[in-house]
Structure 1
């Protein structure tokens, strides 16, 4: 495939930190449905997405799952592996095709010990994903499905820089932890209001401003949290 895009974290590193990490990065294709990390298993690689979307989900013993966070080219996925025992807490799935640079977790752990500046970047982006997870946990518990769906679609639109998202209804229902009939009902409502249009394997945002009005406060809260933790230059969530 043609590799494209740029990871914002890599772009924002100083020349010294880039010289440390870039020689160890390898291009990796992100294939929809592929699991990059699995719960309670060692994290072998840390990912710097260039394009595409990753869904971080909590998997329950009965097989059900619920979204914990979404990630794109604005962040690092698996940075926590540079600290502690490097065991994955959640599942990381590819939600939309793209590509990423990846590095062996052990190598990144060594580089983080050598560079305080790099270590700080890893910590901040781990904190940002953790903050998003906490916000979404509250969102899942309190807010109605329609508001949660609007928030998710807007987040993914920002991360993908595209109005058309390559999402099946099965994928979205899995990310939100709801049954497909419930999701279908809400999507039809949004489609009738001309906020979105739905076709096979795609959801297109037709009116982002109106969609934001229907979203819960969590959309803006997550953007503000990312800005505060990692700075405006990395703001894309």
Structure 2
């Protein structure tokens, strides 16, 4: 059974159709990406999942209607959204504190993860003292420590420079293999989607429809060289062609 399933989800703002007909699923322990051009409505879809907006269609979690959005999802936005006046340790505990967990207990839960996230020794630093990549790792730590059923990642590396972004993608893929989080990523970076994902849903331009569902058959751990890299490049070229030359009438094609 899919953990998350969307059936014919639609959303309009006033007279503007943003999401036309979105049906997709994410299985337990699966890393799925939603890929599409800028302005296609990818972030709007996350707003529906988190309950910030409401649309039409069905949204199911573990086979039941999705009502209690906050109970299932931990959301990581495009920017790290770290509070500059709080030290990294206290930024990492923020989501737990919002849940009503006392600060001492929240710190005890977060502290053992700093080494795993490459942040050991930086617990007492402020966000301005960290590099962009370290700030994003801190933001992801704050997200996953909430122990929700599913991670929603909204272009988490989009603001980073190219080299840091590549390093963070490799780090996230390694962390995902270790923890096997159930994750849904939205991105406009084709290479990122191919490198991280088990499956990719490709959206059309607004009003968004899914024009293709693509399996990513690359072995894990993902490699930046050799045969796997050549396979990845071919898949990236195929996806770019789909985005630049969409054919919505095909609906869901399974590769």
Q: Aligning the two structures, in what range does the TM-score lie when normalised by the shorter sequence?
A: under 0.3
Q: Which has the higher strand share?
A: 2
Q: Which has the higher helix share?
A: 1
Q: TM-score, normalised by structure 1?
A: 0.27
